[in-house]
Chains A and B, each alone.
Chain A
Amino acid sequence: MARVYNWQLGRAMDYWYSENRPKRQFGAVFDINKCIACQTCTLSCKTTWTSGRGQEFMFWNNVETKPYGYYPLAWDVNLLEALGPQTWDGATYSGRTVFEAAPEGERVLGWMPEAIDYASPNIGEDEINGSVDKGMALSLPQQIWMFYLARICNHCTYPACLASCPRSSIYKRPEDGIVVLDQSRCRGYQECVRACPYKKVYFNPSTGTSEKCIACFPKIEEGIQPQCFVNCIGKIRLQGWVNPPERAREDNPIDYLVHVRKLALPLYPQFGLEPNVYYVPPIHVPDPFLIQMFGPGAPAAVKTYRNARNDKTLAGLFALFGSTERTIPFFRISGDEAIALDDDHRETVRVPIYEPLVIRPAEDPTRRIIRLNTT
């Protein structure tokens, strides 16, 4: 094992290979508060990449309801249980990662799902965390909660899938940090399926090899965001590039949300993979759950988000989500507009930070009607 630096843990950690960051790293922010679980992302991915024989159960993108939704079944709670209770010391993780907790004979602490675990992708959908007793529906703020968690491969800086493969069939592209599985090399040992904590590698029983999300790299190479981003109905997603904190740039939208404002957080950072999809945590979920899932920065992120509308830079940046097919490496705010810029800082799209708001009285005296709000 080598020693590498994981900024999400605030410390060095053990990893199978030495530190070797790509030229630039695929990064994304998902705003959980806006997801409506329409599954358009899931289907846009499925029709593009996994409509073949042997891929029937495969969702490289999936959306599950937390706390009781999982795909595959119990993916995160199984691993949390195997890892056992762990601790943070402020912003530094003092527990053990899946690499540090690897049992004798293993490269990674993992667990092997079975085919049946993929059979109920909608389990727990729309289920709230507790039962609604009489009177509960009217007591606020909410004691009951749920949220939608959209998930793709995190194109981790320290991928467990890559570390686990005895054939080195998985590699991280030096040009964009996308983690791909070589379909000509894989021999279907399923070590990666066992090792990925996020269960984002799938075994194809038709070909006998494993397959995973490729971040739509043919689109990325053309400067276009992946299918699940551009088809997102809730406009919750933004794809760009994420730097390590010491190289963070204020005009990079992902860096700005992740490093500057610390508003977008990694999923289960304690596993130690430095995942590169960052989440704006849901604002109505109790802190202990958020901290377990997104790390110790979650309560502060919720606070920042609650005020985002009054913060022109944040409001403008969120307005750019889903505003263009193009990848947004840079952005700037100009007056009441947010502007997306390409790699050469040329403008690709411009949006108003605030949409005009019109408030009309319910009663229209001219037409002598009462208007109803419909959604």
Chain B
Amino acid sequence: MSAHTRVSIVIVLLLAATASGACRRGPAIDTTQVTAVAVTGSLPTEDPLAAAWDGAPEYPAALLPQDIIEPKLMTAGAARVTVRALHNGDWIVFRLGWDDPTENILAQTGVTSDSAAIQLPAQAGSLVPDPAMGEAGKAVHLLYWKALWQDDAARAATGQDRIAALYPNATTDHYPFLANPAAKEEMARRYAPADAAGNPVTRRASTSAVQELVAEGYGTTAAAPSQQALGHGAWRNGQWLVTIARPLDEGPGMARLTPGQKTFLAVAVWDGTSRQAGARKMRSVWIPLVLQATAAR
């Protein structure tokens, strides 16, 4: 070995040492896959700021505008989402982080609610569905978090609805559904057709910040048969950190996650200020997802 080569090796080792030193201060970065770290005990399902997240490596997912089908997103939004994951053999929890200078919670005309989603192939395996919402016969399972739904759940405790939150100083002469207190609930539904039709996106329906959906291609999203997902987002200093959690096994028709196995996930985010909703979103390609094996129980 020449002196020259020896010097090179020393430099490489020095660089490696510097990199791992940085690791101790910041997150461990893994650019190859999302690793769901196996832990024991409870998971920070609704705590994006928990210390437990320090133990999970971070995958930086590059986002692209949805520009395959109209309506397209013509102005790019958030370019990157960081993904971390933990599981305890029963549940898995993801934490997504992305930059968003404005916090948009309530939707109204021309403004949407900040949202994020995780997509999983309904069937694990190497033959993944089309990353753009799956395809006929090859479903995807979606975990969809919306700031609005989280806010609904929080406001429900105080009895405040979306309109009171949007227009706190508004007064109204009369709502017909208030005329007959006995029939109030029934009348309120009558004047809220989406509620009466059982639409899962309405205020009455949103009991969790995360809704579970299935899709087999663009425009086919429908409520999933199981709705157990949880999550919580925190917006601080121009950044959203959002947890999204679900049981590993949710029964038939839903993606089943198995410790020790490899599958895939994709992520998407929507920015309310830029009126992103539905097809107008920033999305990733499929990313490998590996659940660390759990110690035999």
Contact = CB atoms under 8 A, between A and B. Distances in A.
Interface of A: 47, 50-56, 102-107, 112-115, 117-118, 164, 166-168, 182-191, 193, 202-209, 211
B277 A167 contact: no
A205 B108 contact: yes
23 contacts: A51-B176, A52-B175, A52-B188, A53-B161, A53-B163, A53-B175, A53-B188, A53-B191, A113-B109, A114-B109, A115-B109, A166-B71, A166-B278, A183-B196, A187-B201, A188-B107, A189-B280, A190-B109, A190-B277, A205-B163, A207-B199, A208-B203, A209-B201
B280 to A, nearest CB: 8
B71 A106 contact: yes
A167 B161 CA distance: 27
Chain B CB within 10 A, most for which of A54, A114, A185, A202:
A54
A34 B246 CA distance: 62
B91 interface: no
B172 A207 contact: no
Contacts of A204: 192, 194
Nearest to A103: B74
Nearest to B172: A56
Contacts of A182: 197
Given A107-B71, A190-B109, 11 more contacts: A52-B191, A113-B109, A115-B111, A166-B278, A183-B193, A183-B197, A186-B199, A190-B277, A203-B107, A208-B162, A208-B194
B55 interface: no
Given A51-B191, A190-B277, A166 B218 contact: yes
A185 B193 CA distance: 11
A117 B111 CA distance: 13
Contact of A205 (B72, B74, B162): B162
Contacts of A114: 109-111
Contacts, number: 139
Interface in B154-184: 161-163, 166, 170, 172, 175-177
Contact of B201 (A112, A190, A205, A208): A208
A344 B70 CA distance: 46
A300 to B, nearest CB: 39
Nearest to B199: A184
Contacts of B218: 166
Interface in B74-104: 74
Contacts of A202: 109
B202 A207 contact: yes
Contacts of A55: 191
A31 to B, nearest CB: 32
Residue with the greatest number of chain B CB neighbours at <10 A, chosen from A103, A113, A115, A166 = A166
B191 to A, nearest CB: 3
B288 interface: no
Which of A50, A52, A56, A164 has most B Cβ within 10 Å? A52
A186 B74 contact: no
Contact of B109 (A104, A167, A186, A205): A205
A104 B74 contact: yes
Nearest to B65: A105
Contact of A54 (B176, B192, B277): B192
Contacts of B161: 53, 206
Interface range, B side: 35 or more
B148 interface: yes
A122 B69 CA distance: 39
B112 interface: yes
Contacts of A191: 71, 278
B203 A207 contact: yes
Interface string B205-226: 0000000000000110100000
A129 to B, nearest CB: 29
B198 interface: yes
Contacts of A118: 109
Best-buried of A102, A187, A202, A205 by chain B (most CB within 10 Å) = A205
Contacts of B262: none
Contacts of A206: 161-163, 192, 203
**Most-contacted residue by chain B among A114, A182, A202, A207 (CB, 10 A):** A207
B150 to A, nearest CB: 13
A85 to B, nearest CB: 25
B34 to A, nearest CB: 27
B176 A112 contact: no
A55 B72 CA distance: 29
Most chain A beta-carbon contacts within 10 A, residue among B112, B175, B193? B193
Residue from the set A168, A186, A204 with the largest chain B CB neighbour count within 10 Å: A204
B275 interface: yes
Nearest to A203: B109
B199 A167 contact: no
A105 B71 CA distance: 6
Contacts of B219: 166-168
B147 to A, nearest CB: 12
A183 B110 contact: no
A190 B148 contact: no
A203 B192 contact: no
B275 A112 contact: yes
B67 interface: yes
A51 B71 CA distance: 32
A65 B183 CA distance: 39
A164 B278 CA distance: 12
A54 B165 CA distance: 12
Contacts of A113: 109-110
Q: Give the most central of B108, B111, B280: most A CB within 10 Å.
A: B108
A205 B107 contact: yes
Contacts of A193: 109
